[in-house]
């Protein structure tokens, strides 16, 4: 995997304005967030990991010496060696050898960039340009979405056969009968699901073809609404 690190440099107008003037961010293949904050003048680095499960850790290192390790979720100081070592490959992909040297090989992190990532420098001009491009592309992207949606819907419509139309009538009739019997949304939802599964099995086993997906999607969507309505409001 090729990592993409965003690099944000805070504008410094006087010494000591920012504790960490430079920030690196990336996301791991498992969607955990990694942040490296750097103060090159003091040789201090802050490593931060925020997992998809909600865990949040930080480690502060100065010239290769670990000063503090903390679980930010609980506020407790704790040994993070085993936890942060899991992310040693992710941190080692940071495309800045001097910063890796400041980490000093802690948590099995390499002290030299080995060329497995790219750096995206973000500043005020870059943000402005990205925002203008976003605004400029809103309408084309919306039109493209509806065009693609229209093509998909047409392809589904063309694949419909008379047997599918009969199945839709059958599913609708069974659902209406289930609802009319005792006005129970839960029964209606389960009937929709069972009917959709039954017609799908008929397509596979008897008609020897793939089920019409629009029929299945529509039945599952209406069944979800009926089950939600019956479970929470009935």
Tell me if 43 is assigned to some domain: yes
**Alpha carbons 23 and 114: distance in angstroms, whole number:** 20
- Count the domains in the chain: 2
Complete edge-to-edge strand list for the sheet that includes strand 33-39: 76-77, 65-71, 56-62, 44-50, 33-39, 22-27, 3-9, 117-122
Same domain, 21 and 98: yes
Residues of the chain with pLDDT under 70: 1, 12-17, 115-135, 145-162, 234
Domain of 72, in residue numbers: 3-123
Burial of 77 (0-12, 13-18, 19+ CB in 10 A): exposed
Tell me if 64 is assigned to some domain: yes
Q: And the tokens for 161?
A: 């056969």
pLDDT at res. 188: 86
pLDDT at res. 234: 60
Q: Which of 123, 139, 169 is the last residue of a domain?
A: 123
pLDDT at res. 58: 96
pLDDT at res. 104: 93
pLDDT at res. 33: 93
The number of beta carbons lying within 10 Å of the beta carbon of residue 118 is 11
Tell me if 136 is assigned to some domain: no
pLDDT at res. 7: 87
pLDDT at res. 232: 76
pLDDT at res. 30: 85
Q: Residue-wise over 171-195: b if at least 16 C-beta within 10 A, else e?
A: beebbeebbeeeeebebbbbbbbbb
pLDDT, tens digit, 9 for 90 and up, residues 171-220: 888 888 888 877 788 888 888 888 888 888 887 787 777 777 777 788 88
Same domain, 7 and 119: yes
pLDDT at res. 100: 94
Nearest to 99 by CA among 113, 118, 81: 113
Same domain, 72 and 9: yes
Tell me if 141 is assigned to some domain: no
Tell me if 130 is assigned to some domain: no
Same domain, 115 and 161: no
pLDDT at res. 179: 82
Same domain, 197 and 97: no
**Alpha carbons 96 and 205: distance in angstroms, whole number:** 59
């Amino acid at each position: 995997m090729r990592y993409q690190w965003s690099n944000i440099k805070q504008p410094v107008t006087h010494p000591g304005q920012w504790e960490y003037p430079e920030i690196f961010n990336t996301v791991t293949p498992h969607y955990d967030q990694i942040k490296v904050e750097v103060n090159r003048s003091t040789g201090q680095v802050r490593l931060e990991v925020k997992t998809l499960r909600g865990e949040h850790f930080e480690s502060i290192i100065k010239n290769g010496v670990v000063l503090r390790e903390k679980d930010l979720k609980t506020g407790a100081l704790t040994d993070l060696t085993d936890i942060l070592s899991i992310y040693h490959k992710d941190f080692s992909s940071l495309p800045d050898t001097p910063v890796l040297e400041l980490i000093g090989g802690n948590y099995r992190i390499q002290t030299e960039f080995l060329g497995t990532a790219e750096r995206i420098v973000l500043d005020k001009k870059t943000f402005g340009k990205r925002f203008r491009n976003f605004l400029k592309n809103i309408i084309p992207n919306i039109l493209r979405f509806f065009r693609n949606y229209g093509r998909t819907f047409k392809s589904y419509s063309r694949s419909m056969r008379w047997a599918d139309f009969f199945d839709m009538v059958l599913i609708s009739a069974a659902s209406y009968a289930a609802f009319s019997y005792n006005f129970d949304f839960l029964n209606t939802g389960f009937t929709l699901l069972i009917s959709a599964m039954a017609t799908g099995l008929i397509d596979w086993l008897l008609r020897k073809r793939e089920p019409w997906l629009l029929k299945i999607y529509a039945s599952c969507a209406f069944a979800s609404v009926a089950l939600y309505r019956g479970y929470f409001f009935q």
